[in-house]
Amino acid sequence: MKLSKIVKRGIVAMLAGTMLMSLAGCGNSGTANSDKSTEATQEESSAGESKKTEGVTIKFQQWWGGELPDGYLQKICDDYEAATGNKVELLTAPWADTKTAITAGATNGTIADVLSIDGAWLAEFADMGILTDLSTVGVKLDLASDVWKVKDTDYVVPILNFAYPMYANMDILEKSGVEKIPTTWTELEQACEKIKAAGYSAFALNLGTTNANGIQNVFMGTGWASGITLKDKDGKYVTKDNKELASLAEMYKKLYDSGVLYPGMSTLEEAEMTSNFAAGNCAFTVASAATMSQFEKLNFKAATIPVKDGYTDKSGICYASWAVGISESCKNKEAAAEFINFLLGGKDGKDGSASAGLASTMSAFPNSKVATPDYSSAPKQFQEYYEEYKKNYVINEFIGLANASDVMTSMTNDLVMYLEGDMEVNKMLENWQNYLDNAGK
């Protein structure tokens, strides 16, 4: 490890002092050349100390600054500079423009040092050679609960996780004679039937393809809660002849056939689905925990998604992240790694206040193992769900998938055809296998 700047300064000062004492011991025998030598030594020491104090400047390309309160992210960067002497220049753009900025920067040689990464971009960026292997540059990956890999290489570490619970409108449940939030698929089906009979829409499944994330957040979110996955134990996508996936699809087919799903499923987008729940138009929906503040006028609760009957293990929770990587062309990888470590664990690896503050500010959960966020001002439902979150684990098998958006769109189109009776489940799963096998080719 390198000596701290304070220790280095002390050594410089001590050496300079020793030189002066030696020269003083020579008395009047010193010459003009000796005086010049002393002055030169002092100037070099002063210049060296000034250089160390100034540190280096790294650039951070992200969308976070536009979503956080004004000045919040800059304050974290200022704290980092005070702790290390290194500066962070923020390059802030909307989420939709951040990917373009990164790819353009990689092409013309102006790419930033630290990059905010969306899971859907990971495979493409890794294939382009944009990202550095974080395990080789000093990032303390042991501070993180989750690290994103491509072909076993550690490219990206999440800072915040935005989990996707199931929300329940408790007033609709009460009026429909549903005594508690369902915890199994059978209970969910029965609750939805009662809710429909009482004149309400029961469950919102968004399968619009403008942003085809319903297949991920809701459909597979339900599967992951029961340990149903797209991949096998070796990490290979296996959907063809996958009986567990077939059972998941069949459960949703029951909901569709019984007429309990919110109208307009095939064109419903996430934002519309969330706003409809906020307006009290349906009993259940799956959405980001960060949207909870939109439901303050509702009598609602957040819970883990119901599991397949008989499943007793921990539930996988779908999530999205604010995550970071380091560009391969970064000339100050040590400082960039130090900044990521600061976000996760402060200067000493034990201070998770930066991560904790971001989490509580954004209604998210920290990926840092040492962060202890203060959710005392968050809705009671958020605090209760955080306890459930900690008992389980996060999962998103679309992270790191090449051309993830295109694959999800194709999978969504097939799921709609299956639910509407125009495709058999085995054909759908066979198609999915083809999309996944050929992703990025």
Q: What is the mean pLDDT of residues 184-195?
A: 99
CB 216 within 8 A of CB 318: yes
Please say which residue of 338, 356, 374 terminates a domain. 374
The tens digit of pLDDT for each residue in 94-152 reads: 998 999 999 999 999 999 999 999 999 999 999 999 999 999 999 999 999 999 999 99
3-state secondary structure of 402: coil
Q: Chain-centre distance of CA 81, in angstroms? A: 24
Sheet containing 201-203, strands listed edge to edge, beginning at the edge strand earlier in sequence: 201-203, 282-286, 166-169, 300-303
Residue 344: inside a domain: yes
**Burial bucket for residue 321 (CB in 10 Å: 0-12, 13-18, 19+):** buried
DSSP string for residues in 281-346? -EEEEE--GGGGGGGTTS-EEEEPPPB-TT--SPPEEEEEEEEEEEBTT-S-HHHHHHHHHHHHHT
pLDDT digits (tens, 9 = 90+) for 367-408: 999 999 999 999 999 999 999 999 999 999 999 999 999 999
b/e map 159-186, b = 16+ CB within 10 Å: bbbbbbbbbbbbebbeebebeebbeebe
On the question of pLDDT at 12 being above 60, the answer is: no
302 has a pLDDT exceeding 50: yes
pLDDT above 50: residue 30: no
| β-bridge mates for residue 321, sequence order | 161
Structural domain total, the chain:
2
CA distances for 335 relative to 8, 53, 83, angstroms? 18, 14, 12
CATH code, domain carrying 78: 3.40.190.10
> Tokens representing 150?
């491509």
Using alpha carbons only, give the angle 340, 341, 344 rounded to the nearest 5 degrees. Answer: 90
Same domain flag for 198 and 327: no
Instruction: Average the pLDDT over each of 50-64, 78-92, 181-195, 232-246 and give the range with the smallest value.
Output: 50-64
Cβ–Cβ < 8 Å for 208, 332: no
pLDDT-derived band at 10 (thresholds 50, 70, 90) equals very low
pLDDT in tens, 265-279: 999 999 999 999 999
Q: For residue 15, what pLDDT band results from cuts at 50, 70 and 90?
A: very low
| Judgement on whether residues 176 and 279 belong to the same structural domain of the protein | yes
Burial of residue 31, with CB atoms counted within 10 A of its CB: 0-12 exposed, 13-18 middle, 19 or more buried: exposed
Cβ contacts of 182 within 8 Å, gap of 6 or more: 188, 190, 191, 306
pLDDT tens-digit series, residues 310-324? 999 999 999 999 999
Residues 223 and 116 in one domain: no
Is 14 inside a domain boundary? no
What single letter denotes the amino acid at residue 12?
A: V
Examine residue 39 and state whether it is found in any structural domain, yes or no: no
Same domain, 270 and 407: yes
Domain assignment of residue 388, yes or no: no
Q: Which pLDDT band holds residue 440 (cuts at 50, 70, 90)? A: confident
Question: In which band, very low, low, confident or very high, does the pLDDT at 13 lie, cut at 50, 70 and 90?
Answer: very low
pLDDT at 3: 36
**Whether residue 173 sits in one domain with residue 73:** no
19 part of a folded domain: no
Answer yes or no: do 89 and 170 share one domain: no
CA distances (Å), origin 383, targets 301, 378, 388, 423, 428? 11, 7, 9, 42, 39
Q: Which two tokens stand for residue 243?
A: 């009986």
Mean pLDDT of 20-38: 38
Residues 426, 186, 246, CA angle at the centre, nearest 5°? Answer: 10
Last residue of a domain, one of 335, 358, 374: 374
Do 98 and 176 fall within a single domain? no
Domain that holds residue 76: 57-159+321-374
Give the pair of three-digit tokens for residue 138.
């000093």
Asked if 61 and 137 sit in the same domain, the reply is yes
The answer to whether residue 266 is domain-embedded is: yes
Residue 2 above 50 pLDDT? no
Look at residue 51 and tell me if it is in a domain.
no
| Residue pLDDT, tens place only, 166-178 | 999 999 999 999 9
Give me the chain's average pLDDT, please. Answer: 90
On whether both 295 and 416 belong to a single domain, the answer is yes
E strand or H helix that includes residue 87: strand 87-92
Shared domain for 204 and 261, answered yes or no, is: yes
pLDDT of residue 8: 35
Q: Are residues 277 and 426 in the same domain?
A: yes
In this prediction, residue 38 has a pLDDT band, given cuts at 50, 70 and 90, of very low
Rounded to 10 degrees, the C-alpha dihedral 197/201/205/206 comes to 150
Do 220 and 338 lie in a common domain? no
